[in-house]
Amino acid sequence: MKISYNWLKWYVPEAPSAEKLVDIFNYHLCEVESVEHRVFNKEEDWILDLKILPNRAHDLLSHQGIARELTSLLNIKFIDPTPKYKIPESKPTKLIQTIESSNCRRYMGRVIRNIKIGPSPEWVIKHLEAIGQRSINNIVDATNIVMFDCGQPAHVFNLSRVKNLKLKVRNANKGEKITLLGGVEKTLDETMMVIADDLGNSLDIAGIKGGNYAELDKDTKDIVLECANFDPTSVRKTAQALNIFTDARKRFENDLSPELAAFGMLELSALILEMCPEAIFEDVIDVYPKKQEGKKLFFSTDRISKILGIEVSDKEIEGILNRYVFEYVYKKGKFEITIPPMRLDLATEEDMAEEIGRILGYNKVKENIPKIDFKPKINETYAKIISARNKLLNEGYSEVMTYTFCDQGEIEVKNSASDKKFLRTNLSDGFKESIKLNHANIALLGLKEIKVFEIGTVFTKNREQINVCYGDKKNITEVSLDDFCKNMSSNFSLKPITYNLETKFKMWSLFPFIVRDIAVFVLENVKSREVEKIIKKNMGNMVIRGPEIFDEFKKENKISYAFRLVFQSYDRTLTDIEVKGVMDKITEKIKENKGWQVR
């Protein structure tokens, strides 16, 4: 929400400087996203872009809303504009309004005759341009001024297009079309609300955007003003479905008090009278089926103090309630307040604690961690999983995780993300594939044998349970977690462990690897590391693992060392010719040593 500092000062003459307001808003109300210094017709202004959250959008998306909040927060004077709004005696009207949709909570209309469409006064243009809005004409600008000033969206229809002086708030017909201001056509359905005339012509999409059927033009003399209130959920769903984003939608979808419509009508009427002094006003028609109920809220000083974690006194709370013009009754540390109609965010003690806390300043809340004396309850299933995992890891097994989804099973997934549409009934099937895959990569992994385990859930029609599966290439065992842990100590406990591990992750190559072995006969006094040194010096950068010695034996006065090298590239598939070239080079260098022989 963009706020003009000069506009704000109409209502708060004692307002601090724009720079100071930034800190006040940031610490007590909302985040100030930006501050922009502008000059309009040689007059300086500061535009504050406030990030108003949804819980306060119903009363703070307007200059008056921000002004009232600021004056209450700082305990300074607010200039109420209401006494300035003078409307001449109105005449009887023949306008008829009916509400057929339960999503319309209030609808106010007024006929004004003998208006003149023209440019807006300079102060109106200045106000609108300050917050990034362009001036259209005096009547349309008046509706925009009202919305950004008091928060009530308003609309104006060309009276000559409203057949039989009848307006109807109804749900649209399925497939009904409406052409909006700007020329875009939308197709509606029966869940969406429209304002229509007596012949069924749709004049606008309720609470969102007007249609071009009753659009004002330069020859318009008579108009109908609209100030209404609509269900926020209905407005949001309709706007989302039609992909329409307007300032009116933003306010209605966050909920507005129906009581605001009357003030909006008063302010709009006064603005039009100022711009069109010869205008003739007719009576306001107000259809308000179910009035907004008054609400009360009860809370105690002790409860507020406990929620905030600081000592708050009765006097401090009373001071806040008086500054914010809350009606209240106080008795022995307990308050009963009447919630103002515009404060839709206040419903519980916690809401009131938040309100008092932000006004006092959250910097007063001490950073004390609460002391909680309790013994954590051990989750038996988790304890068994940890016990089983530790046991298998200590026995030299490595943990694997296989897919829960498979090609066949007893339970089928309705909307599967892949071609595997069933939940597994055992771990063994996927486990076998995991062993097969790991064996194929045993050289790359640098392991002598593959011993793995998995702890996971299996699914049958009757139940789901956690199983443990472990084994190697020859034997695979799968049992339930309960059976595996039947001998687990009854006093097993989970102890917190802190690891200070340095992250050393290196992405593996996605290309195939090639394994080559080389065996060398050397004199018995030659150590393996001497041979290894020559291999390393000549193997190049294609070897990602090795040389690793995997065999050694003596024969007469000689000793044989066998080394394994794993070749792999990160950017291509290696060829046998490339690997052969490296192995030939290593062989040649080894043969240069007297008494050494490559087997």
Q: Is 361 left (phi over 0), alpha (psi -120 to 50) or beta?
A: left
Residue 89 belongs to some domain of the structure: no
Partners of residue 565 on adjacent β-strands = 516
Residue 497 has pLDDT above 70, yes or no: no
Which helix (H) or strand (E) segment is 130 a member of? helix 122-130
Same domain, 422 and 543: no
Of 47, 55, 115, 517, residue with least CA distance to 278: 115
Q: Which of 258, 287, 316 is the last residue of a domain?
A: 287
Same domain, 238 and 118: yes
User: Are the CB atoms for 233 and 204 separated by under 8 Å?
Assistant: no
Q: Please give the pLDDT value at position 487.
A: 82
Whose structure tokens read 């290439």? 473
Same domain, 417 and 434: yes
- The count of structural domains within the chain is 5
Of 174, 186, 196, residue with least CA distance to 242: 186
Q: Please give the pLDDT value at position 507.
A: 80
User: Are the CB atoms for 421 and 502 separated by under 8 Å?
Assistant: no
Which helix (H) or strand (E) segment is 339 a member of? strand 334-339
What does the DSSP assignment read for 517-548? EEEEEEETT--HHHHHHHHHHHSTTSEEEEEE
Residue 427 belongs to some domain of the structure: yes
Residue 163 belongs to some domain of the structure: yes
Give the structural domain span for 577: 514-598
Residue 428 has pLDDT above 80, yes or no: yes
Q: Which of 287, 316, 351 is the last residue of a domain?
A: 287
Same domain, 167 and 101: yes
**DSSP character for 292?**
P
pLDDT tens readout for residues 80-90: 999 999 888 99
State what percent of residues in the chain have pLDDT above 90. 73
Same domain, 141 and 229: yes
Residue 272 belongs to some domain of the structure: yes
Does the CA dihedral 572-577-583-585 come out positive or negative?
A: negative
Q: Any idea what the CATH number is for the domain that residue 467 is in?
A: 3.30.930.10
Q: Please give the pLDDT value at position 544.
A: 87
Q: Any idea what the CATH number is for the domain that residue 224 is in?
A: 3.50.40.10
Same domain, 167 and 106: yes
Residue 86 belongs to some domain of the structure: no
User: Are the CB atoms for 444 and 569 separated by under 8 Å?
Assistant: no
Q: Residue range 141-153: average pLDDT?
A: 97
Does the CA dihedral 384-390-395-399 come out positive or negative?
A: positive
Q: Residue range 334-359: average pLDDT?
A: 94
Residue 588 belongs to some domain of the structure: yes
Residues in the chain: 599
Q: Please give the pLDDT value at position 525.
A: 87
Residue 271 has pLDDT above 80, yes or no: yes
Q: Which of 287, 317, 347 is the last residue of a domain?
A: 287
Residue 584 has pLDDT above 70, yes or no: yes
Of 123, 169, 183, 152, residue with least CA distance to 247: 152
Higher pLDDT, 370 or 186: 186
Same domain, 395 and 456: yes
Same domain, 179 and 278: yes
Residue 91 belongs to some domain of the structure: no
**DSSP character for 165?**
G
Residue 490 has pLDDT above 70, yes or no: no
Q: Any idea what the CATH number is for the domain that residue 55 is in?
A: 3.30.56.10
Q: Residue range 201-224: average pLDDT?
A: 95
Same domain, 385 and 402: yes
Q: Please give the pLDDT value at position 470.
A: 94
Same domain, 466 and 573: no
Q: Please give the pLDDT value at position 332.
A: 86
pLDDT bracket for residue 496 (50, 70, 90) = low
Of 347, 254, 266, residue with least CA distance to 1: 254
pLDDT bracket for residue 250 (50, 70, 90) = very high
Q: Please give the pLDDT value at position 488.
A: 75
Residue 491 has pLDDT above 90, yes or no: no
User: Are the CB atoms for 500 and 532 separated by under 8 Å?
Assistant: no
Q: Residue range 435-460: average pLDDT?
A: 87
pLDDT tens readout for residues 41-69: 788 999 999 999 999 999 999 999 999 99
Q: Please give the pLDDT value at position 139.
A: 96
Same domain, 168 and 283: yes
Q: Residue range 463-487: average pLDDT?
A: 91
Residue 491 belongs to some domain of the structure: no
pLDDT bracket for residue 502 (50, 70, 90) = confident
Cα 274 from chain centre: 44
Residue 96 has pLDDT above 90, yes or no: yes
Same domain, 42 and 106: no
